[in-house]
A and B are shown apart, each in its own frame.
Chain A
């Protein structure tokens, strides 16, 4: 079967959908209080630096994914061990995001439904789409990108026209100085969602060869767009709800949109937001799931990726329930444990080691790298 290549447009859209997927939902950088939106911008720049590192590795091995070139860098066994770790990491992330969405749906709509049912439905859809191929995921993204954009713009216009925003809530900027903002921004905000761009180290080889040189530019553009959207959204949440409320609500966006009430007719639009978020969540979980499948394929030497999509989907469903016993625990883990002990090693430390090892072994690998890029 011919492997499918995505073009720059699809690459850009995947990045934006992926970045916004779940990040737009939770209160990001809320430790910084009303300056959360600035913390996000800081996080975005840090994330961009990380991404530049990932693209550097990709350019050295343009036709290989992360789990393939670490086997070149470290040899088969150590490489496979690292690959296995990354597979677990991606699986964990898939489960986390799935849990986020399951919880959101339970709290917003299906109060009495068990979470496993909601999650299973989502994973079943993802497995179906992924079995049709990565190409189909990329193209479906193109269709829904337009739709999500339309809904997002409508909501923004409605919030503006409903005169809900109180700009004073955002003032004073840097009221407590820059330090608390930086403290809030690091290390949490760069790692989620911008550091999660690590998954694109697995997907960059799908880029069309002629677009290789634009990988960094378009990637940064995608991150920039999603960073600005995120920052604006959070700023809007704070302006509508006030800094104090916004930091203490689980889903600030839902709370803000729920306030829209135009002429007693256009109201309770949070269901519309949920609809948009389902699409974002779908793409985020789908990308994580697909990346874990690719990693597993490299580590275990599976020939056809379609054979393991289903089983890995089941693993994700089960682990999404097993990772936390309730939502408070889940969020607490996500804010306090995961960034320091999971995100940073996998997003920063290990890639840095890979780059160092590459630079040391450059001469040895020269022959290999030149043959693979030709």
Chain B
């Protein structure tokens, strides 16, 4: 078929090039009509041949250009640069790109300049015009990423993804070239997961940067990066990263299937993806962990988990996730094990405090006064004497006030923030006590709860504690510790019923996995963490050689 087409196309080209010359002088407003006319003409030329199929690229340059302009609505940032270069004869070519998404310096230095300097003298044999594209791809384009484009849709997609497209007269293919540019945020320090010791770089909004951040630290040939496109309109790039020789293939398969099932118009943040792919919707607990730190993603990949990176957000997801991960910080592995264990236990207690501290206060003062040491009891009773409300009302008012202040503090511009904190200190502090609205003990309880909820490293799980606090307060005001205990049983039962991609959410505690317990609430010394998590990494479970083995080997070699 190609052979048959050869000659007439060259003829077409000659005549068309005249018409293009005409068009250049013409006004852009008359473009539409002219393009229709030229389309008719090319039909006439092709009549004996096969008609150009819809969606395929036409050999006539301006038809393609017109179609693209038409489909994109002729936007102002679409640059169509026509030029000529010399092979056997003069060849017309067009470089199309969206201005702000490309690096113009790259374009001029590595595409336009070498092409325009092409001369026929350099060529050993004459190049027919329909091989021009192949020829310049091999000889003239000094760029790494150059690929063929065959259909109009492909061309549009490349343009919108920030690539530039080169079309050559008389060729039914084009070339897309990786000249992406434009402004991007630099790699900065993480803002939501600050550490004292550890890498200080965070992901950015660009998926390319993010993948490079991972690649640079994980130079293994077994690292797999698979790309998906999610969102019918936004066409968001999404990549999953995992270690092929560690991960449980069933989990990867499950993740891929769930991502492929996502049908939505747009995907702007991993939070949206999380809701699409999580196991259980009716729960307050996060089932996927999000992080903006490359070292966290890599650490989890090494454990046999899968990282999910979405273009346009610095937060990437980690799946499957266990509840205990929300109490671990990347720093735990960079610091000594003793302090890490202490901090993990502290964080967990802090979670418990932020969950039930107000409920315990309410239960104690309402039902179990006998449990309070006598002197303290007198103190609290004296404080509460002037307060007209029951403990639950007091607690609810204070907690809700705190929530309001917190929300205001986050959304306020920095200049107003000072005012908010001053007013907040008045409302939650001495003034409220003096007005006889709340007791001082309640202020302390709310204060501790608030500080505790900020000490949890993961914002997501702090949110669950924040939401559960209110029902717990209400039930303990009605049933005291009995209600609180039953409510805790319900929460624990709910947690054990959750699964994240088939892995029990509360493992390694329920079901108990003895090996994995070493790196849960405690962190054993690294030399004792031999194994990867049992359920995640079935293939390649050994992580660190036991110290004794190493020592023995060293002794043997020194002998």
Q: Would A129 and B482 be within 8 Å (CB), given that A9-B511, A136-B497, A142-B510 are in contact?
A: no
* Contact pattern, B 467-499, Cβ under 8 Å of A = 1, otherwise 0: 000000000000111110110011011101100
Q: Would A125 and B497 be within 8 Å (CB), given that A268-B370, A278-B482 are in contact?
A: no
Q: Would you call A67 an interface residue if the criterion is a C-beta within 8 Å of the partner chain's C-beta atoms?
A: no
Do B373 and A121 touch across chains, with their CB atoms under 8 A apart? no
Q: Would you call A282 an interface residue if the criterion is a C-beta within 8 Å of the partner chain's C-beta atoms?
A: yes
Q: How far is the CA of A25 from the CA of B493 in the complex (A)?
A: 24
Minimum CB–CB distance from B262 to chain A (whole Å) comes to: 26
Minimum CB–CB distance from B380 to chain A (whole Å) comes to: 15
Q: How far is the CA of A40 from the CA of B483 in the complex (A)?
A: 32
Minimum CB–CB distance from B359 to chain A (whole Å) comes to: 13
A-B contacts counted at CB < 8 A amount to 83
Give every chain A residue within 8 A of B482 (Cβ-Cβ): 105, 109-110, 118, 121, 274, 278
* Contact pattern, B 496-513, Cβ under 8 Å of A = 1, otherwise 0: 110000001010011110
Q: Would you call B371 an interface residue if the criterion is a C-beta within 8 Å of the partner chain's C-beta atoms?
A: yes
Give every chain B residue within 8 A of A132 (Cβ-Cβ): 493-494, 497
Q: Would you call A321 an interface residue if the criterion is a C-beta within 8 Å of the partner chain's C-beta atoms?
A: no
Do B367 and A109 touch across chains, with their CB atoms under 8 A apart? yes
Most buried by A among B370, B490, B497, B510: B510
Do A140 and B511 touch across chains, with their CB atoms under 8 A apart? no
Q: Kindly identify, within residues 27 to 43 of chain A, every residue whose CB is under 8 Å from any CB belonging to chain B.
A: none
Q: Would you call A7 an interface residue if the criterion is a C-beta within 8 Å of the partner chain's C-beta atoms?
A: yes
Q: Would A279 and B489 be within 8 Å (CB), given that A110-B480, A136-B497 are in contact?
A: yes
Q: Would A121 and B483 be within 8 Å (CB), given that A142-B512, A282-B489 are in contact?
A: yes
Say which size band chain B's interface belongs to. Answer: 20 to 34
Interface residues of chain B: helix, strand, loop or mixed (majority): helix
- Residue in contact with A129 in the complex, picked from B485, B490, B510, CB distance below 8 Å: B490
* Contact pattern, A 80-119, Cβ under 8 Å of B = 1, otherwise 0: 0000000000000000000000000100011000000010
B375, closest chain A residue (CB): A264
Q: Would A125 and B492 be within 8 Å (CB), given that A10-B511, A142-B509 are in contact?
A: no
Minimum CB–CB distance from B37 to chain A (whole Å) comes to: 68
Q: How far is the CA of A142 from the CA of B489 in the complex (A)?
A: 12
B373, closest chain A residue (CB): A265
Q: Would you call B137 an interface residue if the criterion is a C-beta within 8 Å of the partner chain's C-beta atoms?
A: no
Q: Would you call A143 an interface residue if the criterion is a C-beta within 8 Å of the partner chain's C-beta atoms?
A: yes
Do A129 and B493 touch across chains, with their CB atoms under 8 A apart? yes
Q: How far is the CA of A10 from the CA of B504 in the complex (A)?
A: 15
Do A264 and B373 touch across chains, with their CB atoms under 8 A apart? yes
* Contact pattern, B 388-423, Cβ under 8 Å of A = 1, otherwise 0: 000000000000000000000000000000000000
Minimum CB–CB distance from B497 to chain A (whole Å) comes to: 4
Give every chain B residue within 8 A of A137 (Cβ-Cβ): 493
Q: How far is the CA of A129 from the CA of B489 in the complex (A)?
A: 9
A133, closest chain B residue (CB): B497
Give every chain B residue within 8 A of A271 (Cβ-Cβ): 368, 370-371, 481
- Residue in contact with A144 in the complex, picked from B367, B368, B371, B492, CB distance below 8 Å: B492
Q: Kindly identify, within residues 263 to 314 of chain A, every residue whose CB is under 8 Å from any CB belonging to chain B.
A: 264-265, 267-268, 271, 274-275, 278-279, 282
Nearest first, the 4 closest Cβ-Cβ pairs linking A and B are A139-B510, A139-B496, A142-B510, A129-B493
What would 13 A/B residue contacts be, using CB atoms closer than 8 Å? Answer: A9-B511, A118-B479, A121-B483, A125-B489, A128-B490, A128-B493, A129-B493, A132-B493, A132-B494, A136-B493, A140-B489, A264-B374, A271-B481
**Taking beta carbons and an 8 Å cutoff, which residues of A are in contact with B?**
7, 9-10, 105, 109-110, 118, 121-122, 125, 128-129, 132-133, 135-137, 139-140, 142-144, 146, 264-265, 267-268, 271, 274-275, 278-279, 282
